[in-house]
Amino acid sequence: MSDDLNMTDTKSFKVGLIGADIQLSKSPALHMREGAAHGLDYSYELVDVVARKLPESALPDLLNELESRGFAGTNITHPFKQAVLPHLHELSDDARMLGAVNTVVFKDGRRIGHNTDWYGFYESFMRGLPDAKRDRALLVGAGGAGVAVAHAALKLGITHLDICDRDFSRAEHLAAELNARFGEGHAFAVKDPADSLPFADGLIHATPMGMPAHPGMPVKADLLEQRHWVADIVYMPLVTELLATAAQKGCRTLPGGGMTVFQAVGAFRLFCGREPDAERMTAHFTEICTKEGVA
- Tell me, what amino acid is at 208? P
Q: Please give the pLDDT value at position 5.
A: 42
pTM for the predicted model, two decimal places: 0.88
Taking 70 as the pLDDT cut, the residues of the chain under it are 1-10, 293-295
Which residues contact residue 196 at a Cβ distance below 8 angstroms, ignoring those fewer than 6 apart?
136, 138, 162, 164, 190
177/187 Cα distance (integer angstroms): 9
What was the pLDDT predicted at 216? 96
Instruction: Indicate which residue of 11, 14, 53, 81 is catalytic.
Output: 81
**CA 258 from centroid of its chain's CA atoms:** 10
Q: Is 81 a catalytic residue?
A: yes
CA distance to 78, 100, 121, 142, 257, per residue, from 146 (Å):
11, 9, 11, 4, 16
Residues 6+ apart with CB under 8 A from 202: 129, 132, 133, 134, 137, 138, 228, 229, 230, 231
> Which residue, 106, 14, 125, 10, is CA-closest to 67?
106
pLDDT of residue 293: 60
